[in-house]
Structure 1
């Protein structure tokens, strides 16, 4: 069994329900959710002319290999109704693999750790809540240290 961190995000429709449905499908199909962060609200990042996002980080125990997990996450997104319109655009649900064990994977299909972790407070704040001392396998800094260095100006507000 392997351990990984997933980031859930949504900014369309009933956002809390979208997160709940994603967690239920991940739990049923991908593995055991060992812990999850609170839900956080933040303004859109990258493409700002859209509704605020809700985000949550899950710590998961899984029997899947990284690429298998990626494909399963994409299937879950599709099952929940996600349609990809544009990069950084609105989304019903987004499931990103942040870390998978201490692996570093860089290929056309998958990059782990997620290449934007250190640049996004909406990722780092929930990560620090549940894994402050987890060491980024490429940057060799903890999530807490990365948050302290992050220059992202967007507010991340706990709503749970």
Structure 2
């Protein structure tokens, strides 16, 4: 079984419900179990600012799905929840990204693990730190050190899961 961390984000069509539905769908993936889910946080959009704020979270899962099979399953969940890619970094009903998959490093046309820019995104690092404060990335970077880059950033807590 592999341990993977999945970033969840939504800013359309009742984002909290979108994340809840995605988590339910992930829990029903074959040979996959959700081990932890962070609180839900509100954050400003990364791209164009003429869109609603996002609700973000991170889930820790255990799975036997290989990375590409997991990516396919997550993209299917996105499609089932109405995901349409209108513009780069634009609004979306649901975005599911594989952040980490064990200590694998993958750079392919379809998938990059660790997620290529996760260490610069507070909406990833803050919830990831919440559920895995002792985590060390394959690069040797520690989440407990990366969180310091975001000490001055206030992200609104939407739903506390603990």
Provide the TM-score with structure 2 as the length reference: 0.93
Partner of 2:106: 105
- Runs of 4+ with >2 A deviation: none
How many Å separate the matches in 1 of 2:71 and 2:25? 14
Secondary structure at the residue paired with 2:90? Answer: coil
CA RMSD of aligned residues (A): 1.4
Cα deviation per residue 1:65-121 (whole Å; 9 max; x = unaligned)? Answer: 001100111011001110111110000000000000000001111000001111100
Equivalents in 1 of 2:57, 2:34: separation in Å? 12
Name structure 1 gaps, 5 residues minimum. Answer: none
Distance, in Å, in 1 between the alignment partners of 2:108 and 2:83 is 24
1:137 is the counterpart of 2:138: yes
| Residue 21 of structure 1: aligned partner | 21
Tell me, in whole angstroms, the C-alpha distance in 1 between the residues paired with 2:89 and 2:26.
Answer: 23
Task: Show the counterpart of 1:159.
Answer: 158
How many pairs were matched up? 158
SS in structure 1 of the partner of residue 28 of structure 2: helix
| Structure 2 residues not aligned, in runs of 5+ | none
Kindly state the Cα deviation for residue 144 of structure 1 after the two structures are TM-superposed. Answer: 1.9
